[in-house]
Amino acid sequence: MGPIGENEFFFLMQGLKWTVLLAIVGFIGGGIFGILIALLRTSKTKVARRITAGYIGVFQGTPLLMQLFVVYYGVALLGIEVNAWIAVAIAFTLHASAFLGEIWRGSIEAVPKGQTEAANALGLHYVSRMKDVILPQALKISMPATIGFLVQLIKGTSLAAIVGFIELTRAGQIISNQTYRPLLVFGIVGAIYFIICWPLSHAGSGLEKRMAKAVR
């Protein structure tokens, strides 16, 4: 058994860096496209609703692992060479956009109808109505579910190792193979995930409880 020293710990931190960056890129990119999907899902255009419903259905109905494979190898089949980082960033962005789009669609529809009617009575056009009246309230309603999805996204980054991307879990596997101390190494990896995810989960639960009290 080899020792776990400074070099191994530094390698784990490098993996953690890529885990966090991948989660941030996927969440922000997914958020941008997710807003568009949510707006199209709640639009009056039947075609737009059906297309976005199909898009969401594909990503919610298939494993993230398969989505990573399809993006990584599918892009290569088109003759475009991309490194693992770009491929997994695209896959996580698409994955997050579908889930966030559906979360925010539900939040938009949860805003009381009277708010929309009042905005229409004031003569607000669609952009102003959504930007100033509906979306701020929908964002507040969606916060617990959005935070919950972010936690799942962070843990889901461990699947990126399947296409050769070295994030926290893959870094732990490499160190475990070198030191023959899997229990210790993955105990440290698990503790790092817990330190990142538990505060987010706790914050989401707290928000949900406060919102439930406010409704009563």
Q: What is the pLDDT of residues 11-36, one digit of tens each?
A: 999 999 999 999 999 999 999 999 99
Task: Name the residue type at position 99.
Answer: F
Q: How far apart are CA 153 and CA 66, in angstroms?
A: 15
Tell me how long the chain is.
Answer: 216
Would residue 82 count as lying in a domain? Answer: yes
Q: How far apart are CA 22 and CA 93, in angstroms?
A: 9
Q: What is the pTM of this model?
A: 0.91
Q: Which residues have CB under 8 Å from 144's CB, separation 6+? A: 204, 205, 207, 208, 211
Would residue 1 count as lying in a domain? Answer: no
DSSP characters over 23-78: HHHHHHHHHHHHHHHHHHHTSS-HHHHHHHHHHHHHHHSS-HHHHHHHHHHHHHHT
Would residue 199 count as lying in a domain? Answer: yes
In 3D space, the residue among 14, 63, 27 whose CA is nearest the CA of residue 167 turns out to be 14
Using a pLDDT cut of 90, give the percent of the chain over it: 67
Provide the pLDDT for residue 24.
Answer: 97
Q: What is the pLDDT of residues 113-167, one digit of tens each?
A: 888 888 888 888 888 888 888 998 998 899 999 999 999 999 999 999 888 899 9
Provide the pLDDT for residue 214.
Answer: 61
Would residue 160 count as lying in a domain? Answer: yes
The number of C-alpha atoms within 13 Å of 173 and in the hemisphere containing its C-beta is 11
Please give the tally of structural domains in the chain.
1
Provide the pLDDT for residue 80.
Answer: 79
pLDDT band at residue 1 under the 50/70/90 scheme = low
Residue bearing tokens 């969440």: 27
Q: What is the mean pLDDT of residues 166-183?
A: 93
Task: Kindly tell me if the per-residue pLDDT of 215 is higher than 60.
Answer: no
Q: Which residues have CB under 8 Å from 68's CB, separation 6+? A: 87, 88, 91, 159, 160, 162, 163
Provide the pLDDT for residue 144.
Answer: 92
Task: Kindly tell me if the per-residue pLDDT of 193 is higher than 80.
Answer: yes
pLDDT band at residue 75 under the 50/70/90 scheme = confident
Provide the pLDDT for residue 119.
Answer: 81
Give me the chain's average pLDDT, please: 91
> Is residue 8 packed enough to be buried (19+ CB in 10 Å), middle (13-18) or exposed (0-12)?
buried
Provide the pLDDT for residue 121.
Answer: 83
Query: Residue 159 is part of a domain; what is its CATH number?
Result: 1.10.3720.10
Which residues constitute the domain of residue 162? 6-215
Q: What is the pLDDT of residues 40-70, one digit of tens each?
A: 999 989 999 999 999 999 999 999 999 999 9
Would residue 52 count as lying in a domain? Answer: yes
Provide the pLDDT for residue 93.
Answer: 97
Provide the pLDDT for residue 56.
Answer: 97
